[in-house]
Each structure stands twice: as structure tokens, then as C-alpha cells.
A and B are shown apart, each in its own frame.
Chain A
Amino acid sequence: MLELTDYNVAYGQSDVIRNMNLSVGDEEIVAVLGRNGMGKTTLMKSLIGMIPSKSGTVALNGVDLVPLQSYERVGAGVGFVPQGRMIFSTMTVKENIETGLTSTGKNDIPEDLYVMFPVLKEMQHRRGGNLSGGQQQQLAIARALASNPSVLLLDEPTEGIQPSIIKEMARTLRTIRDQRKLSIIVSEQVLSFALDVADRILVIEKGNIVLDVPVEEADQATITRYLSV
């Protein structure tokens, strides 16, 4: 499915992702945990092509992503929900989702997106910038799903969301995976969410994977130690 080999990303001279090797399976949900500044966002942004990688390869279902620009990666099946949501705030909810349709060539928003996020249907004519944080998060996910990705990248989706909604978000993501048969990579700091949502837990530290376990074998105490400063 998604394969990273000897993957390196740097800002100028400072290496942030170092020689990462990672393989994400079909319909697998992987949570990437790590403290602030350990390179989660850098990894996500480089996978969608917002920042270039330095060396190594990324292949999605056998397609080499490295030479592709962001929009071409979306066409190849990558969906991206950035940290901070980055919805188009002056555009309506409906228009925001429609931008996600670009790579599919379709004009109409598939009804199942609205079924999944009914609040977006209710608010479809409001400006995206006037939604609450939680609603914006749903919008960002719907926008990414509109392009029919085979792998969905979510960068800290729980940031600024209240605990009760976080539980629900984990359930929603698993439903999305089951319905759409896609893989999900989600970066996180909230351990309970990661344990709820993922099949597999990764911990990165200074750009390296230091722990890689199936969720059943994940030991909370060990992971907590990694996450505490």
C-alpha cells in the first residue's frame, strides 16, 4: 500500500525525518505518536508534497510519489487533513468540499459524505471560517474524502477538540475506513485517542521510529514514558 524506504526530510541543513522505513497495509490505521517538534507535521507535509523530501522513496500502490506535486499526489490517492484544518475560510462549506472533488472530475458531492457528517449538510451555505473548531475538523475530513483517497493523512485531528467529541471522532474514522476501505495515518499526542482509533502504534522521536507495535500489544506505560518530556 504505502511504502517509505530510507526516507529523509530536512529544512535546509537541519534533518527532521531521518532514514525512516515504514510500510502501511491496506485498510490499516496507523497512529504516529510523538512529542511536540518530533517531526509529525513534517512527515505528513512531505508525504502530501508540501515540502520536498531529501532522499529515499515513497510509493503508493506501486506509484512513486516523490516526483509528483501535491495535486498529482491527490490524484494518485493521497488525502490530507492538515494540523489546524486549513479550510478555505471565505468559501462556503459546500464549496470547500467541492474543491476536494477537483481530482475526480466530478461536480456533485457524494451523498454519503453528508450522511457521515450531517452537520455539514445543515451548514452547507455558511462560510467555512464561521464554523466551530470541531465542525471545521469535520469539514477538513470531508474535503479530503471528496477526492476518494486510498490513504488518508490526518495531522493531530484532536487538537483543540473536547474529550467527548474525541471519542466520537475515533469511531467516525474507523467507520470511514470500513466503508471506504482506505488506510489511515494519523499523527497524535493524545494516547487514549490513538489507542481507540488505531490498529498499530508508532512512536517517533527526533525523526526516527522508536516503537512500532500492534495496538493489542501496546503498553500504555511504555508509550507514556516516550510522550512525557
Chain B
Amino acid sequence: MFADYTMTELTSIFAMQGFAGLTLFSVFVLMALGLAIIFGQMGVINMAHGEFMILGAYTTYLTSNVFSSYLPESLYSLYFFVALILAFLAAGALGAFIEWAMIRHLYKRPLDTLLATWGLSLIMQQLYRTIFGPREVGVTLPDWLMGSIALTDMVEIPINGLFVMAITLVVAVGVGLTMQKSRLGKQTRAVVQNRPMASAVGINTARVDRLTFALGCGIAGIAGAAFTMIGSTGPTSGQLYIVDTFLVVVFGGASSLVGTIASAFTISQAQSTMEFFLSGSMAKVLTLLVVVGILMLRPQGLFSLKIRK
């Protein structure tokens, strides 16, 4: 399949596709981080995670509208930073509410949480349809995010993609630091290891659950804000990402941040590069095969901690 291209063409194709893969990688990482945090903390698989992401995307859309209609033009270039924070807060607040209203009553029943969050995802999709309409909406990027940097004659890198990656990096580092250094992070890890014991050393595990769920959803909100830069937002856009995100989490090993990132990278790169040469579904099939193969060899995922059991 490579025979029809010259060597330089091939290099640029790999570079461009690799870069396109990196933006996909960013959204994957953000989504997977939130999902993995929630799954690791309470064993809940949040089927509505994609809808929390879309909440972030709609929040970004609304913010950009407010900026363009009510605020002076000179401020528009800043809307995205405000939107990022609002998206995090909106998705996080809804997450905290859902945890309180629904999830906490279902902790001992994993299958029920699966169904309940799936139901939630349908409700949220319908709400989006009612409020924002069935048509996809998009945001107008401020000027400084438009355009691309030309690396060579053939290789161009879009600035918005670079920007999304920078955000992802900041969030991933932030989440890593939170989990490693902050009090909430340490409490979370203690609860993950041994819930009754965590309570017996003084940790309010119900509060930790709520905050972690909110954090996971909030990060999905940020993913949604980033998503508006590379795609348009519709009521069901979240569905497209949720399966891939599950794949990333399982492949990376649910308890490891590094594993999540490595697996998001592998999967997004593999897909993006192969999509150029094969059809999209063929690329997906190959990716899945490889993932399944590796999981058969390493059921615990790519990374796991080495300690005495």
C-alpha cells in the first residue's frame, strides 16, 4: 500500500496524520482521565461520560455566543479560557448532583449503575435536543487560533490542534499532581485501596466519592471545550467518543495515569495513521485486534504497580 508514494510524500503523510492523531489523542486523554478516575475510585462505569463532555461543548458554545453578542470584540479572543473554566464547573456541578441523587444509592450494584448511567445518557441527549435543537452547532474560533504553521512545503500543523494539546498537557499534569500531592488525591487513593480502612483512619469516603465523581465529570467538560475546536457539537456527538475511551482505559490499565496516556497515544496514532491508507472501519478493526491481543497477554493493562500483594 506504500508503493504508490515517494519517500518524502510518505514522511509528510505520517507527520500530518500523526499530528491529526495527536488532537484525537488529546480528546481521548481528557475523556479517559475522567472515566478512569471515576472507575478507579468507585468501580462505576459512567456510560453518560460522553454527554458530560458534550455539556462542556455546549457550555463553550454558549460562552462564545455571549462573548460575541454582549462583550466588545476585543475580548472575544479570550472567550475560550472563560469557557474552559465554565465547562469544567458546569460538568463538575452536574456530576456532583448526579452522584448525590443517583450513583451513591447504587454503589453496591455495578450492573445497575451501568444501566442507570446509560439511561442518564439518553435523558441528557434528549435534553440537549430540546434545548439546543437537533442540528450541530459550532463555535467561531478567535483569529489567533486560526491558520497553521507550515513546517515544510508539505507538512502543515493547525494552531488549534497545538492549542488543544497544550490544554491536555496542562490538565493531565494538573490531575497527576492532584492525585499525587493534594489531600484529596491521597484520600482518593486510600479509598481506592481499602474503603472501610480509609474511613477508619478518618476519611469521609462519601465526600471523597462525590468530589472524585465531580472531578471526573469536570474533566470531561474540559474535553468538551477542547472538542469544539476540532468538531461541531450535536446532541449525540458524545456517543462517538465513548467506546474509544473505554478502549483507552481498559488498554492502559485503569489505575495508572501513565498507562492511560500511553494507551491513548497508541490507539489514536494507530487509528489516524492507518485511516489514511485503509478505510476507517478497517483501521478500527486492526486497532481492536491489536488491543485484544495485548490484553490477552497482559490482562491488567499496559501498566500496573509492582508491590507485594
Q: Closest 9 CB pairs between A and B?
A: A103-B202, A74-B202, A70-B199, A129-B307, A102-B202, A86-B197, A88-B193, A99-B190, A70-B200
Say yes or no: A144 contacts B197, CB within 8 Å.
no
- Can you report 25 residue pairs joining A to B where beta carbons are below 8 Å apart? A48-B200, A49-B200, A70-B196, A70-B199, A71-B200, A71-B202, A74-B201, A75-B202, A86-B194, A88-B189, A88-B193, A89-B308, A89-B309, A90-B193, A90-B307, A91-B186, A91-B189, A91-B193, A99-B186, A99-B187, A99-B190, A99-B198, A102-B204, A146-B201, A147-B201
Complex alpha-carbon distance, A74 and B305, angstroms? 30
Say yes or no: B201 contacts A100, CB within 8 Å.
yes
Asked if B135 is at the interface of the complex by the 8 Å CB criterion, the answer is: no
Residue with the highest number of chain A CB atoms closer than 10 Å, among B187, B200, B203, B307? B200
Say yes or no: B201 contacts A90, CB within 8 Å.
no
Q: What count of chain B residues pass the 8 Å CB interface test?
A: 21
- Please indicate the chain A residues that have their CB under 8 angstroms from the CB of B105 in the complex: none
Main secondary structure of the interface of B (DSSP, over half): helix
- Please indicate the chain B residues that have their CB under 8 angstroms from the CB of A71 in the complex: 199-200, 202-205
Q: How far is the CB of B287 from chain A (nearest CB, A)?
A: 30
Set A69, A95, A101, A130: member contacting B308, Cβ < 8 A: A130
- Please indicate the chain A residues that have their CB under 8 angstroms from the CB of B183 in the complex: 98, 102, 107
- Please indicate the chain A residues that have their CB under 8 angstroms from the CB of B204 in the complex: 71, 102
Say yes or no: B202 contacts A90, CB within 8 Å.
no
Encode contact with B along A127-159: 1 for CB under 8 Å, 0 otherwise.
101100000000000011011000000000000
Complex alpha-carbon distance, A47 and B205, angstroms? 18
Complex alpha-carbon distance, A147 and B197, angstroms? 14
Closest to A147 in B: B202
How many residue pairs, one in A and one in B, have C-beta atoms under 8 Å apart?
78
Which residues of A does B touch, CB under 8 Å? Answer: 48-50, 69-71, 74-75, 80, 82, 86, 88-91, 95, 98-104, 107, 127, 129-130, 143-144, 146-147
Set B196, B203, B308, B309: member contacting A99, Cβ < 8 A: B203
- Please indicate the chain B residues that have their CB under 8 angstroms from the CB of A69 in the complex: 199
Complex alpha-carbon distance, A101 and B201, angstroms? 8
- Please indicate the chain B residues that have their CB under 8 angstroms from the CB of A70 in the complex: 196, 199-200
Closest to B197 in A: A86
Complex alpha-carbon distance, A167 and B202, angstroms? 30
Set A80, A90, A95: member contacting B200, Cβ < 8 A: A80
Q: How far is the CB of A77 from chain B (nearest CB, A)?
A: 11
- Please indicate the chain A residues that have their CB under 8 angstroms from the CB of B194 in the complex: 86, 88
Complex alpha-carbon distance, A82 and B197, angstroms? 9
Known pairs A71-B205, A99-B186, A100-B202; list 9 more (Cβ under 8 Å): A49-B200, A71-B200, A71-B204, A88-B190, A88-B193, A89-B308, A99-B198, A99-B203, A100-B201
- Please indicate the chain A residues that have their CB under 8 angstroms from the CB of B196 in the complex: 50, 70
Closest to B194 in A: A86
Residue with the highest number of chain B CB atoms closer than 10 Å, among A82, A95, A102? A102
- Please indicate the chain B residues that have their CB under 8 angstroms from the CB of A95 in the complex: 186, 189
